[in-house]
Amino acid sequence: MSRNAQRARLAAQLFGLTDKNVEFRNKWRSIAMVAIWFLLSGAAMLLNVFFAQEDMHRIIIMVMSFIKYIPLLIVIYNLARRMAAQYLDDIYELHDEDLASDFLEEVTFGYGHERITIREGKIPAGDERSSIILIGGPGSIQVNLDNVALLEKVDGEPEIIHPRNEPWKLGRFERIREIGRHDEVGKREYAIINLRDQFVSGLPVKSRTKDGIPLEAQGIKIIFSILRKQNNESDQDENDAYFFDEKAVRALVYNQALITPEPSSAIGIPFPWDTTVVPLVVSELENLITSHTLNEILASISQKETDQITNNEETIAQMRVEMTGAQTQASDKKEARPPNFESRSKITAQFFSPEFKKKAASIGVAIDWIDIGAWHLPNNLILDNHKDAWNLARENAKKRGAFERSKKKHEMEELLQLIGDIIISNYEKTTSISKLSNKEKKELEQMIAASPDVVDPLFAYQLITEHATNKKDARSIAVEILKAFHKELLAARLLIQNENKPEFEKQTDLERIEKALHDVGHLTYHYVKHTP
């Protein structure tokens, strides 16, 4: 072995941090002290013993030569340790040289007799003055239930400790990672995580909507925890109270969010939830507010009502297709639709979507339950104006509905009058529809085209054209036409019955249709008088 390799090996044995290195140092410290003591005592004895005249004097000189260097070596050793302690005290800013001196003795020649306990997610105030906390190991840490902590070795490698029967042994200079800026006993924060489910209430979120109106969510409540690991995938002891993912612990400690500027008032959430869960929920709600208008967040119509309107429209359209065999033509005027309302259930569901769960898992947390609180506008004038706008919109919708109903009512009256005046009366006067005048045919076609909700124009026009050129007898042609209109009247009656308006408003229209059905049915399914 070369001389350089021997020197490197000797340096590693002298300054190493393992227990084997400690044994080597203790052994050679004892040998060195005994050798120095023996050499000094022997030299002093040889120099003085020959000058003694009597045997008693020689014995006293020999004894004193061996005794007097013992306190001298102790003083020199303590002085050297004190000087090194001053340097260590200055490096770690301990302001306690005795603590630094004891630590030097322990880290160099000891095996760690210090012991601290982690309970309720923190370290007791009495243990915060321990050298294990201020500097590091050697020593031992007892982790109580519901806690997990992250240690860092002298080379920066993390180590996770969890509850177990035996205390965890710390290596030299290994310590609990310290979080936060406070350096006072009772105010320090450490990388210690409580494994129990956490509850936070009273969390506020302020932002501006898409249309620039300030909006605040108050009284947000959250139940969350560290990301759990499934029992069948965990390598923890089966007697552990809680299972957790070690990657989640590292993420909670090292993937914290820096909040700037700092909140004006503390929300009372300890590490690590104040820099992980809170920014996650706040950013999600801020994105929701900024990406929607105030109408979409505070709409006066609920999701249930919107779904009910859609279902009613689909049901009416389907029934019309089944009754008439023709699709409903789209109206030129589109009805005013309610805003794309973001209901509370829809907002809450965002926090349990796969995308959000993946985002939460990346920082080591899981949201179990959330209440988004209540929306609050900082200015009541905005809320009052918004309510007035709601009321005005609902009044306009009501007036528009009344106008549409009145329009349909008049159209129905004209159509019934047309059926009574042209179809039935002209049948009694003539034996063929082809005998109708051009003016009457044109008027009939215009009225049918103007009422697509009651009579399908294409079907009626085709029926009139076919029967006008058909060579069937007049009685058969008239019966087929009346049967077709009888079917359309039945569909019209069904549509009116399904309209969302009071019964007394629909009664007049229904009575007119019933009269027309009675007349047409009598002429169609009973004896039809033939005019010679």
Cα–Cα distance, 135 to 504 (Å, whole number): 88
156: in domain: yes
The pLDDT of residue 331 is 44
| pLDDT above 90: residue 141 | yes
Cα–Cα distance, 69 to 121 (Å, whole number): 52
CATH code for the domain of 283: 3.30.479.30
Question: Both 351 and 438 in a single domain?
Answer: no
378, 408, 443 — which closes off a domain?
Answer: 378
Cα–Cα distance, 190 to 178 (Å, whole number): 4
Sign of CA dihedral 4, 10, 12, 14: negative
Cα–Cα distance, 109 to 107 (Å, whole number): 6
Question: Both 62 and 144 in a single domain?
Answer: no
Question: Both 61 and 202 in a single domain?
Answer: no
The pLDDT of residue 151 is 93
351: in domain: yes
pLDDT in tens, 6-33: 778 877 777 877 878 888 888 888 888 8
Long-range contacts of 68-72 (CB under 8 A, 24+ apart): 68/41, 68/44, 69/37, 69/40, 69/41, 69/44, 70/37
The pLDDT of residue 471 is 47
The pLDDT of residue 265 is 55
452: in domain: yes
Question: Both 203 and 187 in a single domain?
Answer: no
Which amino acid is present at 182? H
Task: Provide the terminal-to-terminal Cα distance of the chain, rounded to the nearest Å.
Answer: 139
- Taken as a whole, the chain contains a residue count of 532
Residue 172 DSSP class: B
Tokens representing residue 218 in the block = 């108050």
pLDDT in tens, 344-392: 888 888 899 999 999 998 888 999 999 988 888 766 655 566 566 666 7
SS3 368: strand
In 165-302, where does DSSP find H-type helix?
A: 246-254, 277-290, 294-297
Question: Both 273 and 234 in a single domain?
Answer: yes
Question: Both 34 and 153 in a single domain?
Answer: no
Q: At what angle do helices 69-92 and 55-67 cross, to 10 degrees?
A: 10
| Beta carbons of 274 and 267 less than 8 angstroms apart | yes
> Hey, which residues does 365 pair with through a beta bridge?
226
94: in domain: no
Q: Given pLDDT bands bounded at 50, 70 and 90, which one contains residue 528?
A: very low
pLDDT in tens, 181-233: 676 766 778 889 888 888 988 888 888 888 888 888 888 999 999 988 765 54
Question: Both 155 and 31 in a single domain?
Answer: no
Question: Both 245 and 190 in a single domain?
Answer: no
317: in domain: no
Q: Among candidates 104, 96, 134, which has minimal Cα distance to 116?
A: 134
Cα–Cα distance, 476 to 529 (Å, whole number): 12
67, 102, 121 — which closes off a domain?
Answer: 67
The total of structural domains in the chain comes to: 4
Residue 143 DSSP class: E
132: in domain: yes
Q: Domain of 16?
A: 3-67
Question: Both 436 and 514 in a single domain?
Answer: yes
| Beta carbons of 149 and 193 less than 8 angstroms apart | yes
Question: Both 189 and 214 in a single domain?
Answer: no
Cα–Cα distance, 137 to 112 (Å, whole number): 7
378, 404, 430 — which closes off a domain?
Answer: 378
87: in domain: no
The pLDDT of residue 150 is 92
> Hey, which residues does 425 pair with through a beta bridge?
none
* Cα 352 from chain centre: 6
Cα–Cα distance, 177 to 133 (Å, whole number): 9
The pLDDT of residue 507 is 81
Mean pLDDT, the chain, whole residue set:
75
* Cα 159 from chain centre: 29
Question: Both 481 and 399 in a single domain?
Answer: yes
The lowest-confidence range among 204-218, 309-323, 355-369, 501-515 is: 309-323
| Beta carbons of 529 and 428 less than 8 angstroms apart | yes
Q: Given pLDDT bands bounded at 50, 70 and 90, which one contains residue 309?
A: low
Percentage above 90 pLDDT, the chain: 7
79: in domain: no
Higher pLDDT, 52 or 428: 52
Question: Both 248 and 362 in a single domain?
Answer: yes
